[in-house]
């Protein structure tokens, strides 16, 4: 069952002052559609600035799209800050990267995990205490950790606290925005495994955002590849990794550590993505694409089906 649906979402931000000539806009998200199924993970991958976080914020209702719609459990998101929205927010929680900024350093771990319960009016003091102990246990922390302050924890332990706080209101959707990017590789694996265990136990839908295809591949059932605000390819994770169709996805896959039986044709990806304030004509990827032809410089490729459950936006792919 579809838990979250983004339907042709667009978001642009004004640039400069309105006093000096016609206003210019930066298009951060351009016509993005994706689904998150209950109990499943949709991963968004792409380079810095491609619009992943903006998409995540729109999915959570923290930012309105300029056009397009967000459906949660089949219904449009209520207006931000309405009573209905606050009730719904309980169902949708955010886990993000900067744990030290996210956690009030004057509060103990127990108080931090109890806070969302109090905000949402869940339980009384005694039952909240029990609930905090269960939540800490669930994310692999002991009772002793409850008495510590955020700065007394390691990065991995702080990420566990952030996860316990997100799980406290019993959400059905977690949006995880680069949740492990600040951690050592070995700790990343522990947190990713924990997320997957928690997901299985609670049947959560996950929208998992990362620039790192290695991590996204590990957690995701479906992968959405974004480039300069647009989806260039999406489909089942195994299909995307085994047979990437878009030259950009091919470059991302070929840059991952080699896997036995995996993709073995290396595609170099030169340069940086162009600025979203100055998007190239035609396919946004053409200035870096080793296969680009005239048509790629002239017209924007549509995202079209490529077999079942797969879509690609590339002039060079036979649909």
Please give the residue ranges that form the binding site for ligand ATP (CB under 6 A): 13, 26, 28, 46, 48-54, 211, 276
Nearer to ligand ATP (CB atom), residue 264 or residue 278: 278
Nearer to ligand ATP (CB atom), residue 50 or residue 251: 50
Label each residue of 49-84 as H, E or C: CCCHHHHHHHHCCCCCCCEEEEEECCEECCCCCCHH
Distance of alpha carbon 180 from alpha carbon 97, whole angstroms: 6
Nearer to ligand ATP (CB atom), residue 52 or residue 222: 52
- To the nearest whole angstrom, how small is the minimum distance from the Cβ of residue 188 to ligand ATP? 16
- To the nearest whole angstrom, how small is the minimum distance from the Cβ of residue 27 to ligand ATP? 8
* Tokens representing residue 34 in the block: 């994706």
- To the nearest whole angstrom, how small is the minimum distance from the Cβ of residue 278 to ligand ATP? 11
On the CB side of 269, how many CA atoms lie within 13 Å of its CA?
18
- To the nearest whole angstrom, how small is the minimum distance from the Cβ of residue 276 to ligand ATP? 4
Nearer to ligand ATP (CB atom), residue 30 or residue 168: 30
- To the nearest whole angstrom, how small is the minimum distance from the Cβ of residue 44 to ligand ATP? 8
- To the nearest whole angstrom, how small is the minimum distance from the Cβ of residue 235 to ligand ATP? 20
Nearer to ligand ATP (CB atom), residue 133 or residue 182: 182
Nearer to ligand ATP (CB atom), residue 167 or residue 313: 313
- To the nearest whole angstrom, how small is the minimum distance from the Cβ of residue 288 to ligand ATP? 16
Distance of alpha carbon 290 from alpha carbon 272, whole angstroms: 14
167: left (phi over 0), alpha (psi -120 to 50) or beta: alpha
Nearer to ligand ATP (CB atom), residue 49 or residue 116: 49
Distance of alpha carbon 55 from alpha carbon 39, whole angstroms: 20
- To the nearest whole angstrom, how small is the minimum distance from the Cβ of residue 208 to ligand ATP? 13
- To the nearest whole angstrom, how small is the minimum distance from the Cβ of residue 28 to ligand ATP? 3
Nearer to ligand ATP (CB atom), residue 228 or residue 283: 228
Nearer to ligand ATP (CB atom), residue 11 or residue 218: 11
């Amino acid at each position: 069952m579809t838990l979250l649906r983004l339907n042709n979402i667009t978001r642009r931000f004004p640039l400069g002052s309105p006093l000096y000539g016609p206003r210019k806009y930066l298009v951060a998200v351009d016509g993005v559609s994706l689904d998150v199924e209950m109990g499943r993970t949709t991963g968004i991958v792409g380079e810095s600035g491609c619009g992943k976080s903006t998409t995540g914020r729109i999915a959570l209702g923290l930012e309105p799209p300029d056009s397009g719609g967000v459906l949660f459990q089949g219904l449009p998101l209520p207006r931000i800050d309405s009573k209905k929205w606050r009730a719904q927010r309980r169902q949708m929680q955010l886990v993000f990267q900067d744990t030290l900024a996210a956690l009030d350093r004057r509060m103990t771990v127990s108080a931090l995990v109890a806070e969302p319960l109090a905000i949402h009016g869940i339980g009384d003091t005694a039952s909240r205490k029990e609930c905090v102990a269960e939540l800490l246990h669930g994310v692999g922390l002991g009772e002793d950790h409850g008495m510590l302050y955020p700065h007394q924890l390691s990065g991995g332990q702080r990420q566990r606290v952030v996860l316990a706080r997100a799980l406290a209101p019993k959400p059905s959707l977690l949006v995880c925005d680069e949740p492990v990017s600040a951690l050592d590789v070995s700790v990343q694996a522990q947190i990713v495994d924990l997320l997957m265990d928690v997901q299985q136990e609670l049947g959560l839908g996950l929208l998992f955002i990362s620039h790192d295809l290695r991590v996204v591949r590990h957690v995701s059932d479906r992968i959405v590849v974004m480039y300069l605000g647009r989806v260039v390819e999406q489909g089942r994770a195994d299909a995307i990794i085994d047979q990437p169709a878009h030259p950009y996805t091919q470059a991302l896959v070929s840059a991952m550590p080699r896997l036995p039986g995996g993709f073995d044709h290396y595609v170099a990806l030169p340069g940086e993505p162009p600025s979203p304030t100055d998007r190239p004509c035609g396919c946004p990827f053409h200035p870096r694409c080793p296969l680009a032809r005239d048509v790629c410089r002239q017209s924007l490729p549509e995202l079209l089906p490529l077999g079942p459950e797969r879509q690609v936006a590339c002039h060079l792919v036979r649909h």
